[in-house]
A and B are shown apart, each in its own frame.
Chain A
Amino acid sequence: MNGWNDQSPAACCEGLSKIFGANEHQTAAVRDVTFQAFPGELILLLGPSGSGKTTLLTLIAGLSRPTSGRVLLFGKDIESYASRELQRVRAHRVGFIFQTFLLIDSLTALENVEIVLRFNGRKTSERRKRARELLRQFGIEHLAAKFPQTMSQGEKQRVAVARAIGNDAALIIADEPTGSLETKQGFGIIELLRRLAKEQGKCVVVASHDLRLRDFADRIFRIEDGRLLPESS
């Protein structure tokens, strides 16, 4: 995509800032952030609630525009993407995992996974087959016909991960993916994300306040008051 190859950063932030409000009501959610996220690594953005993690994720994914600085998504400045193009990039190359899973209640597990494949432009039979494969891969094939309200939290998050990688995303954005899970389930999910990075070469960017996730990350950035503090290993 745009000459991007899996050796280049999937996402690259340069002097990125995001300010909400105006005049005396201005709040800087992200301040002068610079970092790169490469395929095959799991990056952990660690910070307390309100530190600007989620805002940074939305900037990386091109869901909001920076006040200053720039984001290169798959090698291209997001400002130069047309909105339609950006929508296609998200449909084809970016996967999202949310803190509260955010599965669609009126769709079954299979349909929740399948829907992202639909945006991906696959045919009905093909996307159904792929969705089943993904559920099998995460050991939740038996949930295919179940609706989210009948699943456990851990099951929901697995379906959410399956949905996130359904489109064969190169970049996975995870906002507090373990936040609503018990410790064991949380570790299971982060381990799953780590495997996706290591075995499938995905670039996984996780925002969390959970210090216990440190052991799973390739690189860790602390974020406080919107600033990215020096990288630690």
Chain B
Amino acid sequence: MYALRTLRSQPVRLLLTVGGVALCIILMLFLLAVYRGAADGSVDYIRRNKADLWVLQRNATNILRGSSLVSAAQGERIAAVQGVGSVSPVLFLLSTVKKGGNVRTIFLTGFEPDSGLGGPPQLVQGRNIRRDDEIVLDKSFAQKFKFEVGDEVNLQGRRLKVVGISGWTNAFVIQYAFVTLRFARDLIGFPSLATCFLVRVREGADLGGVQARIREELPGLEVYDHPTFLQNNIQEMKSGFLPLLYTVAAIGAVVLTVILSLLLSVNILERRKDFAILKTIGSPPAFLWGMVIKQAVLISSASSLAALAAFFPLVRLIERVSPEVSTKSTFGQIASVVLAVGVMSLLSSGISIRRLRRIYFLEAFR
């Protein structure tokens, strides 16, 4: 009762504190949601690909932050390996699209439309490419830069017609765009190069056996099964994003702790006479600590509720303004943030409680 009434006696301060703490919580929730969205979204193209094996240049582990070059001749040798059903070369390039004087970067994916491998995992609008002068753009890229099916795209000086819009192709910092392999090769001027080969094994063939045989016959290449390759790419995203996002989230947690500690400390200092009286009339230390902890819990609970109420509408708004930002929130993430807030509020209480020791009995007699 005392804890709540003391907080309520300064409504503006309470409101500012709850607001500040809530913003820190929103920041932490948002960063985790961005992380989850980016970590999942950036590998959706790979996850939804139907390739059994991914074959890359030696020492290449992923396509997101690594380079790999393989030749058409190597593709032909792979196709000849026992158990291999089909081999589809795919060429990934960083390219630029011009619109109204602005240049946007895309992750251009050249694939063979007839192979059924390497193309857009989902078409949300229009159709897949059939010809070299056609392109499929990612949904969030198209939304953000106002491209629609039927529009013309200026890609490094070449004109392509947008025939489709794809889903699961937003890699957070960059978005996929799909063209024919021939067009992509022509763009770089090397007609037999690819980044990797997507291999399907024959029905009934032993995947591990095929993998081993490719490795044996083409020792200069890396051969990954689908789960391993997916994991490699997830790991690559995590190692790139995670430290940065976690650092910012940790800063949010520190700011939260500082705000809460400041409020609790100011409350103690303002009410030091009350604390001196309570000490004098026989309050056990635990009772005084309990009052400070209750205040911290009340503020962090109110802030958590406010943050949760504001978080989802805010995320929707951000995704509308910046479609390339894809977020994903899970119950586990929210629970872990709320748990972290609980720990931070206890930590803040601990910092503030130290002030109680410097309140003396005699202050009640002044």
| Cβ-based interface call for A91 (8 A) | yes
* Contact pick for A175, options B282, B284, B285, B365, CB 8 Å: B365
Q: Give B1's nearest chain A residue, CB to CB.
A: A111
* Contact pick for A167, options B2, B274, B280, B282, CB 8 Å: B282
* Contact pick for A119, options B1, B287, B361, B364, CB 8 Å: B287
| Cβ-based interface call for A63 (8 A) | yes
Q: Give A111's nearest chain B residue, CB to CB.
A: B1
Q: How far is the CA of A105 from the CA of B275 in the complex (A)?
A: 12
Residues of A contacting B5 in the complex (Cβ-Cβ under 8 angstroms)? 106-107
Residues of A contacting B6 in the complex (Cβ-Cβ under 8 angstroms)? 106
CB pair B281–A90 under 8 Å, yes or no, is yes
Restricting to A47-90, which residues have a CB under 8 Å from any CB of B? Answer: 54, 57-58, 61, 63-64, 84, 87-90
Q: How far is the CA of A94 from the CA of B361 in the complex (A)?
A: 14
Q: How many residues of B contact A (CB 8 A)?
A: 20
Q: How far is the CA of A104 from the CA of B278 in the complex (A)?
A: 9
**Of residues A84, A87, A106, which shows the largest number of chain B Cβ atoms within 10 Å of its Cβ?**
A106
* Contact pick for A91, options B284, B364, B365, CB 8 Å: B284
Restricting to A93-112, which residues have a CB under 8 Å from any CB of B? Answer: 94-96, 98, 102, 104-107, 111
| Cβ-based interface call for B9 (8 A) | yes
Q: How far is the CA of A180 from the CA of B146 in the complex (A)?
A: 77
Q: How far is the CA of A95 from the CA of B6 in the complex (A)?
A: 25
Q: How many residues of A contact B (CB 8 A)?
A: 31
Q: Give A116's nearest chain B residue, CB to CB.
A: B281
Q: Give B277's nearest chain A residue, CB to CB.
A: A102
Residues of B contacting A175 in the complex (Cβ-Cβ under 8 angstroms)? 365
CB pair A119–B283 under 8 Å, yes or no, is yes
* Known contacts A54-B365, A58-B365, A64-B362; A104 and B2 CB within 8 A of each other: yes
Q: How far is the CA of A104 from the CA of B277 in the complex (A)?
A: 8
| Cβ-based interface call for A144 (8 A) | no
**Of residues B281, B283, B362, which shows the largest number of chain A Cβ atoms within 10 Å of its Cβ?**
B281
Q: Give B9's nearest chain A residue, CB to CB.
A: A106
Residues of A contacting B274 in the complex (Cβ-Cβ under 8 angstroms)? 104-106
| Cβ-based interface call for A195 (8 A) | no
CB distance from B228 to the nearest CB of A (A): 62
Q: How far is the CA of A88 from the CA of B1 in the complex (A)?
A: 23
B interface, by DSSP: helix, strand, loop or mixed? helix
Residues of B contacting A118 in the complex (Cβ-Cβ under 8 angstroms)? 287
Q: How far is the CA of A156 from the CA of B328 in the complex (A)?
A: 58
CB distance from A27 to the nearest CB of B (A): 14
Residues of B contacting A105 in the complex (Cβ-Cβ under 8 angstroms)? 274
Q: How far is the CA of A107 from the CA of B1 in the complex (A)?
A: 8
| Cβ-based interface call for B294 (8 A) | no
CB pair A87–B282 under 8 Å, yes or no, is yes
| Cβ-based interface call for A202 (8 A) | no
CB pair A98–B282 under 8 Å, yes or no, is no
Residues of A contacting B365 in the complex (Cβ-Cβ under 8 angstroms)? 54, 57-58, 98, 175
Q: How far is the CA of A94 from the CA of B2 in the complex (A)?
A: 23
CB pair B284–A119 under 8 Å, yes or no, is yes
* Contact pick for B364, options A84, A98, A115, CB 8 Å: A98
| Cβ-based interface call for B273 (8 A) | yes
Q: How far is the CA of A91 from the CA of B307 in the complex (A)?
A: 42
Q: Give A83's nearest chain B residue, CB to CB.
A: B285
**Of residues A57, A84, A115, which shows the largest number of chain B Cβ atoms within 10 Å of its Cβ?**
A115
Q: Could you list some 27 contacts between A and B, CB below 8 A?
A: A57-B365, A61-B280, A63-B361, A63-B362, A87-B282, A89-B282, A90-B282, A91-B281, A91-B284, A92-B282, A96-B281, A98-B277, A102-B273, A104-B274, A104-B278, A105-B274, A106-B6, A106-B9, A107-B1, A115-B281, A115-B283, A116-B281, A119-B283, A119-B284, A119-B287, A120-B282, A175-B365
Q: B-side interface residues toward A, CB under 8 Å? A: 1-2, 5-6, 9, 273-274, 277-278, 280-285, 287, 361-362, 364-365
The 9 closest A-B pairs by CB, nearest first: A91-B282, A90-B282, A106-B5, A63-B361, A119-B282, A102-B277, A54-B365, A104-B274, A116-B281
Q: A-side interface residues toward B, CB under 8 Å? A: 54, 57-58, 61, 63-64, 84, 87-92, 94-96, 98, 102, 104-107, 111, 115-116, 118-120, 163, 167, 175
